[in-house]
Amino acid sequence: MATACLTPLSSASIFSASSTPKPPNSHPPPSSIKIHTQNLKARPNSTALGTNNNGNRSPRREFLGGGLAALLIALQRRAEAREVEVGSYLPPSPSDPSFVLFKASPSDTPALRAGNVQPYQFILPPTWKQTRVANILSGNYCQPKCAEPWVEVKFEGENQGKVQVVASPLIRLTNKPNATIEDIGSPEKVIASLGPFVTGNTYDPDELFDTTIEKQGDQTYYKYVLETPYALTGSHNLAKATAKGNTVILFVASANDKQWQSSQKTLKAILDSFQV
């Protein structure tokens, strides 16, 4: 019996195949085509032909073809979603139609699929775009048990700034299971542990400009305003942290000096909308 072998396709190979020009005379010579055809004719019952004895397409071939088509479509949509403005695929925010609402679901990140992070949401300007998270930062390689913080999602507006969601295992900050943010400690203690994930490099307590505590139902959030002249993320950073389940979630909005002058109101609105 002939066996049809399928080779796994990477997204890179899928998208590069159509864009790479074929060299001249890349088609096999007619003789090779003839030999191949003769070999196939010698095996009329082979499912590799995609037909059965009645000349109809085999169910197996149709199933495999449909699965591959679905994979290609899914990869294409994922690539497009990261390259287009979020306003083209996210719904308007019920609280402010000038923004769109992003609600994270298990299909968005490995940690959400593993149940290590509870669903979260926030608003965005419709002109922003989602940016890729490097695999080494995404937590994809360490789920369901990650020892270090990872980046969930990132979005950016070219002239306004950027935001990202960082998740940290609760055990990294406290040994108490299912601890609240208050159980971990004061706002200053929490940001001392998570500050480098706000700035992208180091954290100095002198960079902490303001701290507030906010209650939303049963959930408590620590909010921060940081002036960070040496941060890789930008000279202005806003952050919001909370704990739920076995994870601490940190939301960060960042901007450089030029962006901050015109977009600080927008970034504060985005930060205020974040909730788990």
E strand spans, 71-218: 100-103, 121-124, 129-131, 150-157, 161-169, 208-216
* pTM passes above 0.75: no
pLDDT of 35 > 50? The answer is no
Residue 47 has pLDDT above 60, yes or no: no
Say yes or no to pLDDT of 40 above 70. Answer: no
pLDDT (average), residues 103-117: 93
Distance, C-alpha 144 to centroid of its chain: 16
What are 169's strand-pairing partners? 247
- What is the model's pLDDT at position 72? 53
Question: In terms of DSSP H, where are the helices of 134-208?
Answer: 135-138, 181-184, 187-199
Q: Quick one: pLDDT band at residue 69, thresholds 50, 70, 90?
A: low
Q: Is the pLDDT assigned to residue 44 strictly greater than 50?
A: no
Q: Are 215 and 242 in contact (CB under 8 A)?
A: no
pLDDT, residue 149, reads: 94
More confident residue, 78 or 99: 99
- Per-residue model confidence (pLDDT) at position 27: 46
Contacts of 222 (CB under 8 A, 6+ apart): 181, 187, 190, 191, 211, 212, 213, 214, 240, 241, 242
Buried b (16+ CB within 10 A) or exposed e, 214-239: eeeeeebbbbbbbebeebebbbbbbb
Q: Which pLDDT does position 51 carry in this prediction?
A: 46
Per-residue pLDDT band for 67 (boundaries 50, 70, 90) equals low
In terms of average pLDDT, the best of 11-25, 71-85, 155-169 is 155-169
**The predicted structure's pLDDT at residue 82:** 57
Write out pLDDT tens, residues 186-237.
Answer: 999 999 999 999 999 999 999 999 999 999 999 999 999 999 999 999 999 9
